[in-house]
Amino acid sequence: MAHAHTKEFTSFSDFYPFYLNEHRNRTCRRLHFVGSTVALACLVTLLATGNAWWLLAALVSGYAFAWVGHFGFEKNRPATFKHPFYSLMGDWVMYADILRGKIRF
């Protein structure tokens, strides 16, 4: 599916269906959700302590869980490599959609 990653998107609303298609595997979605939750906890800890290392921990935890999901379960390359900003937005929209029950967890 390498050709799909070369597509250019003119808006996030055009990108998001592609993003969801890249996250069909339930385990991959769960790993994204866990990684995002850990990243949020790290950011709260950063705010509480002022220790900037928690920012690095947030980034590493968020991406580590997501990439395990993609390479180990989804068997595709993360959209972050070609669409970093839309992908980051997609992570948080998918997170919210999971919380609202719009996407199966």
pLDDT band at 3; cut points 50, 70, 90: very low
Distance, in Å, from the CA atom of 14 to the CA atom of 99, rounded to the nearest integer, reads 22
What is the predicted pLDDT for the residue at 6? 58
Q: Work out the percent of the chain whose per-residue pLDDT is above 70.
A: 94
Four-CA torsion 48, 85, 35, 65, nearest 10 degrees: -140
- pTM of the model as a whole: 0.89
- At position 51, the amino acid (one-letter code) is N
Tens-place pLDDT, residues 36-61: 999 999 999 999 999 999 999 999 99
- At position 27, the amino acid (one-letter code) is T
Give the domain ranges of the chain.
13-99
